């Protein structure tokens, strides 16, 4: 069974305190790994797609990396506006192209 596990469940950082969120996955065949940001009461907002081990993508203070077993979302010098729930999802090869989501990491950045 395909599984996606995110850790930690919740993370509180001081403004400027860099950290990483983890997404580990067990799937029969990875087609793509996705990172989304979700604000309360809103739908997920797309951040990154990673397709193969060793791939990295950056956007402002965020950097996503991928290995054969996990992905990391690195947050450098976060700001309070980065506070949100970060969701990791996988698309499995041979599936109907839907996404399987992890439970998310709720990030709070304190000023």
Least spacing, CB of residue 35 vs other proteins, in Å = 10
- Dig out the tokens for 68 from the structure: 């054969």
Using the minimum distance from each CB to other proteins, give the nearer residue, 23 or 75: 23
As measured in angstroms, the least distance from the Cβ of 84 to other proteins is 13
How many residues make up the chain in this entry? 111
Helix (H, G, I), strand (E, B) or coil at 69: coil
For the CB of residue 12, give the shortest distance to other proteins in the complex, in Å: 15
Q: Is the separation of the CB atoms in 64 and 21 below 8 Å?
A: no
**Beta strands in the chain, from DSSP E residues, in sequence order:** 3-7, 10-14, 19-26, 30-38, 45-50, 56-59, 62-66, 70-75, 84-92, 99-101, 105-110
94 is an interface residue for other proteins by CB under 8 A: no
| Cα–Cα distance for residue pair 47/8, rounded to 1 Å | 19
Residue 58 as a binder of other proteins (CB under 8 A): the answer is no
Query: Would you count residue 103 as binding other proteins (CB under 8 A)?
Result: yes
Residue placing its CB nearer to other proteins in the complex, 79 or 97: 97
* Of residues 62 and 87, the one with the C-beta less far from other proteins: 87
Contacts with other proteins, residue ranges (CB under 8 A) = 31-32, 34, 36, 41-46, 49, 87, 89, 91, 96-104, 106
């Amino acid at each position: 069974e395909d599984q996606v596990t995110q850790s930690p469940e919740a993370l509180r950082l001081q403004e400027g305190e860099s950290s990483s969120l983890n997404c580990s996955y067990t799937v029969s065949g990875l087609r793509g790994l996705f990172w989304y940001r979700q604000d309360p009461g809103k739908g997920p907002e797309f951040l990154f797609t990673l397709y193969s081990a060793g791939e990295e993508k950056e956007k402002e203070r965020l950097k996503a990396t991928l290995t054969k077993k996990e992905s990391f979302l690195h947050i450098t010098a976060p700001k309070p506006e980065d506070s949100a729930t970060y969701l990791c999802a996988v698309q499995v090869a041979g599936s109907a192209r839907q996404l399987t989501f992890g439970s998310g990491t709720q990030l709070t950045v304190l000023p």
